[in-house]
Amino acid sequence: MRVAIAGAGNVGRSIARELIGNGHHVMLIDRDPKAMKLESVPEAEWIMADACEIASMDNAKLDQCQVLVAATGDDKVNLVASLLAKTEYGVPRVVARINHPKNEWLFDNSWGIDVAVSTPRIIAALVEEAVSVGDVVRLFSIGKGAANLVELTLPDGSQCIVKTVDEIELPDNSSLAAIVRDGRVFTPKSHDNFAAGDELLFVASQAAEAKLKACFIQS
């Protein structure tokens, strides 16, 4: 997956490292020469440009990106970059950083924003969650790192489709906390059936997290 990150500050670089570590191609964009710290994320593609300028984004081939993350420290820049990415380049997924809570009401789809958040780790997770059908995506850690909240979206070919919750044996130290289906969230009961496209939310230890995918998807 090709991801453009507008803003190569601490937040942008943190997101880039997270995504690169998970195998994605990342392009870091910043207009400030001082932000061009190539050695900090050497695997990224670095571009010194203004993410709010059409000519610059033409050169960066923003239309070839599946995701734009607007991660600058300026909410106005994040809004404009998001709108440009969605309306001019048709970027399917736009994730924007909110710097000031008072501006939160602005960060919606009228500015081309699909998801607006503030924490770098969650931003990275939301980028992956949108495209990683069939893969386990860690959203964040809880209990001082003892467990993680993880998400798995069931693809069409999953062997668990039409099976009930109690027919799937989960790894030790894991629990299915919720199912998201057609925009509705519900607590799973033993007789509920799984369906293609279901987003499954688990609380799991790190060891259990590594085993979850095999319970639902044949390798």
Phi/psi at 19 (nearest 5 deg)?
A: -70, -40
| pLDDT (average), residues 9-24 | 90
In sequence order, the β-bridge partners of residue 184 are 181
Q: Residues 136-216: name the CATH superfamily.
A: Regulator of K+ conductance, C-terminal domain (3.30.70.1450)
Choose which CATH entry (3.10.20.340, 2.30.40.10, 3.40.50.720, 3.40.50.300) describes domain 2-129: 3.40.50.720
CA atoms within 13 Å, Cβ hemisphere of 36: 9
Please provide residue 174's backbone torsions phi and psi, each rounded to the nearest 5 degrees.
-145, 150
Alpha helices in the chain (DSSP H): 10-21, 54-59, 75-89, 120-129, 206-216
Give residue 56's identity as a one-letter amino acid code: S
Give how far the C-alpha of residue 48 lies from the chain's centroid of Cα atoms, to the nearest Å: 24
Across the range 18-34, mean pLDDT stands at 93
Domain assignments of the chain as residue spans, ordered by start: 2-129, 136-216
pLDDT-derived band at 145 (thresholds 50, 70, 90) equals low
Q: Label residue 219 by pLDDT band (50, 70, 90).
A: low
pLDDT of 60 > 80? The answer is: yes
Beta strand 147-153 pairing with 199-204: antiparallel
Task: Name residues whose C-beta falls within 8 Å of residue 30's C-beta, 6 or more positions apart in sequence.
Answer: 6, 7, 8, 9, 12, 36, 47, 48, 49, 72
Do 88 and 112 contact (CB within 8 A), yes or no?
no
The arithmetic mean of pLDDT across residues 74-101, rounded, is 94
What's residue 180's pLDDT?
86
